[in-house]
Structure 1
Amino acid sequence: MKRLLAILLSLVMSFILAESQVYAIPENQNLEKQEYLVQFDVSSYKGLSEDAINTEFKNVLNSINIEEVDILKAYHLLPVYCVRLSEEQAQVLKELSIVKAVEPNYKVKASEPITQMIESEEVKPLQDTIPWGIERVQATDAHYYGYYGSGIKVAVLDTGIDGGHYDLYVRGGYSVFNDSPYYDGYGHGTHVAGIVAALENSYGVLGVAPDVSLYSVKVLGNDGYGSISGIVEGIEWAVNNNMNVINMSLGSSSYSSIFEDYCNYAYNSGLLIVAAAGNSGNSYGTGDSVEYPARYSSVMAVAATDYYDKRASFSSTGSDVEIAAPGVDIYSTYPDNNYAYMSGTSMACPHVAGAAALVWSANPNLTNIQVRQKLVNSAKYLGNRYHYGAGLVQAYNAIYY
């Protein structure tokens, strides 16, 4: 009997020791680390303050030998951390019930423009040029009846916006990098911003919604690349600063549940999110190639059309395409008081963001869901929904739909 009790006691102790080593990582290993996003499940911490919860989560991270220097960023709207982890540490975290998700900090890039032409100083337009896409989405019709987007805040999450461009009025912004949100070393964000909001100032070009409050949220670097961690930081800024519309002319082929949760959070907080469907389509229009975040249900995925209202051959296709807009040879602002032609779903996306601003300005009591429904229900039917979604966005029709 004593022998049996001794065996049972030995087994119990072995089990306890095994459980106590769940978080253990050998300290003598020289393990290569990479950036991850870690999302915790807060369901067990109801009633605790944010500081108390953060302390609990940091205790978990410290228990597997994660040093303070490796905790790169703590987010606030959701219990997410950007952390440097070894593969072994990441695996241990994935196995904990308190952890909802552990994901690599995926790279994201600007939806690369297909063509580009910069105009020289000598040939800049001396009066407002109305790019063909602005008329095609009925923005000029809305302008005629006095709707210019006043009172609506649009955050452009991109490579920054040239704050000194005389055809743009940037009200504010934020950068996830160590530089200014008003510096755009890549040109992409400034071009996108002009499509949304180039001023009606008898010079340069005209945007879809020239009276919107335009904000530059720099989440992509001067090479056009960024990461999920930077974009969710930008979304946090947009939510905390009461934006109405988020424009994301960027994408990735990698799914992230954390990125999706952030888009859902912003959407459920009342923001309308518009994103480029991607430039991964083919000339046959086959396949499902819509990128993230456009692929998420809380985000409007925008495809690109040409001057003849046909799908641009590069425009991504699939069941997640929600709406279409001009995206070929689009003339808009560019850094250093220049202008450029670019093509891509990056250019289609801000046409829809601007149209949303016009609709919301005309109907300020609408919710983001209602604005989205108006845009979709009033779109001009173009054909295959996998190519065009509901069809070509029509701002004026949406205002009165």
Structure 2
Amino acid sequence: MAEQQKKNIFLVKFEPSSDFTTYSSLGIADEEVIHEFNLARIIECELTDERVDDLKRFSNVLYVERDIPVYAYQQEIPYGVSRVQTQQVHQEGYTGGGVKLGIVDTGIDASHEDLNVTDGFSVFQSGEDSEPYHDGSGHGTHVAGTAAALDNGTGVVGVAPDASLYAIKVLDSSGSGSSAGVVRGIEWAIQNEMDVINMSLGSSEPSRAIQDAVDTAYDEYDILVVAAAGNEGNADGTGNTVGYPAQHDSVLSVAATDQNDLRAPFSSTGPGVDISAPGASILSTVPGNGYDRLNGTSMAAPHVAGAGAVLRAAFPDAPASEIKERMISTAKDIGDRSEWYGSGLLQLHDAVNQ
């Protein structure tokens, strides 16, 4: 007895002039037909591969294709966003709405469907880098997504999805800039009344001009200034390797942890570290409506900047100093090495409900 051939579901499309309901003339039995799509002149049916080959020879059959699976484009919650208690505060309605969040970086791809970029500024005068929404590096776009990617059912979600992003471009497409450019960017942030700025940049060499700028932003204009601690750490976690401006007292300095809440081996160490956030293999937005995983304290800092935006929206009358203290005082103890972790791992829900 011959083995019965396996049947699969196929869609058979008929050419416009044919009577597609007379499929029996093609050797398709009524019991093999699952559905007739009258407008599209297609039938859904169960067929063997042999019958499919036969059907393709008929002139009134335009195509036969296998029924393929289709999936929802689900939004992913990156592990870093989960580790800092973001989902809990979103469920309680704290999402950073009405807060101005400046990303002092390489620009932001404002055409990315997962980002809400309100305005921008570039310190560069010519070429593509003069456009704040051109991010030839991708660094600023990635930082922006962690801080504030939209809760729109696709891609990823950021810590403060309802915050307004501002692209403050002080680094070119190679990721390089100058102290003068950084000061100009901070000046623009002050003039345009940012509530929070993220600086995933730095130098091993201090700049008095940058220190003056961040001190002015924080002390005189009540801007919460967040900066990456730096990626100059060693495997042993020894030495004072925190960069500038993260070393300055007016700046909330962020070290990087991994999926296990352990210090990322590249994360800079020293007394200048204030707090920690995930910075290893962080999934976020990149130019061209894309997503990618990157490592660095640059990826850790926007978790804290986004948290700052959520807190500023939740407590609109609280000064930046209080917002900063809320995050530091409620951080989770993940080890007694303050030079590694500062006060510990950011816990946004605890900061909101302190």
Q: Residue 93 of structure 2: which of 132, 146, 149 is its match? A: 146
Q: Residue 117 of structure 2: which of 163, 170, 187 is its match? A: 170
Aligned positions of 1:348-367 closer than 5 A:
348-367=300-319
Aligned residue type for 1:365: D
Partner residue, 2:274: 322
Shift of 1:125: 8.2
Partner residue, 2:204: 253
**SS of 2:177's equivalent?**
strand
Structure ranking higher in helix proportion: 1
1:214-267 alpha-carbon deviations (Å, 9 max, x no partner): 100000001100000000000000000000001000010111111111110001
Partner residue, 2:79: 132
Alpha-carbon distance in structure 2 between the residues aligned to 1:126 and 1:251: 37
5+ long unaligned stretches in structure 2 = 1-70
Alpha-carbon distance in structure 2 between the residues aligned to 1:264 and 1:125: 47
Residues 125 and 271 (structure 1), Cα distance of their counterparts in 2 relative to 1, 3 Å cut: farther
Aligned residue type for 1:149: G
Alpha-carbon distance in structure 2 between the residues aligned to 1:127 and 1:206: 11
1:194-219 alpha-carbon deviations (Å, 9 max, x no partner): 00111011111110110001100000
Alpha-carbon distance in structure 2 between the residues aligned to 1:169 and 1:361: 17
5+ long unaligned stretches in structure 1 = 1-123
Aligned residue type for 2:115: L
Partner residue, 1:206: 157
Partner residue, 1:184: 135
Aligned residue type for 1:203: T
Alpha-carbon distance in structure 2 between the residues aligned to 1:249 and 1:190: 12
Alpha-carbon distance in structure 1 between the residues aligned to 2:168 and 2:85: 27
Give yes or no for the alignment of 1:277 onto 2:224. no
Shift of 1:360: 1.4
Alpha-carbon distance in structure 2 between the residues aligned to 1:229 and 1:125: 47
Aligned residue type for 1:193: A
Shift of 1:354: 0.5
Aligned positions of 1:107-126 closer than 5 A:
126=73
Aligned positions of 1:234-313 closer than 5 A:
234-268=185-219, 269-313=221-265
Partner residue, 2:323: 371
What is the CA RMSD across the aligned residues, in angstroms?
A: 1.0
Alpha-carbon distance in structure 2 between the residues aligned to 1:164 and 1:358: 24
Give yes or no for the alignment of 1:385 onto 2:338. yes
Aligned residue type for 2:79: W
Alpha-carbon distance in structure 2 between the residues aligned to 1:295 and 1:217: 21
**SS of 1:352's equivalent?**
helix
Give the share of equivalent positions with the same residue, in percent: 52
1:117-170 alpha-carbon deviations (Å, 9 max, x no partner): xxxxxxx98221100001110111100100100011100000000010011110
1:172-197 alpha-carbon deviations (Å, 9 max, x no partner): 01000132101100000000000011
**SS of 1:225's equivalent?**
coil
Q: Residue 175 of structure 2: which of 221, 224, 246 is its match? A: 224
1:39-97 alpha-carbon deviations (Å, 9 max, x no partner): xxxxxxxxxxxxxxxxxxxxxxxxxxxxxxxxxxxxxxxxxxxxxxxxxxxxxxxxxxx
Larger radius of gyration: 2
Aligned positions of 1:53-72 closer than 5 A:
none
**SS of 1:340's equivalent?**
strand
Alpha-carbon distance in structure 2 between the residues aligned to 1:249 and 1:334: 15
1:250 and 1:276 in contact (8 A); partners too = yes
Partner residue, 1:71: none
Aligned residue type for 1:333: T
1:297-356 alpha-carbon deviations (Å, 9 max, x no partner): 110110000000000000000001000000001000000111100010000000000011
Shift of 1:396: 0.8
Aligned residue type for 1:306: D
Aligned residue type for 2:222: G
**SS of 1:297's equivalent?**
coil
TM-score by length of 1: 0.69
Alpha-carbon distance in structure 2 between the residues aligned to 1:230 and 1:126: 40
Alpha-carbon distance in structure 1 between the residues aligned to 2:269 and 2:154: 36
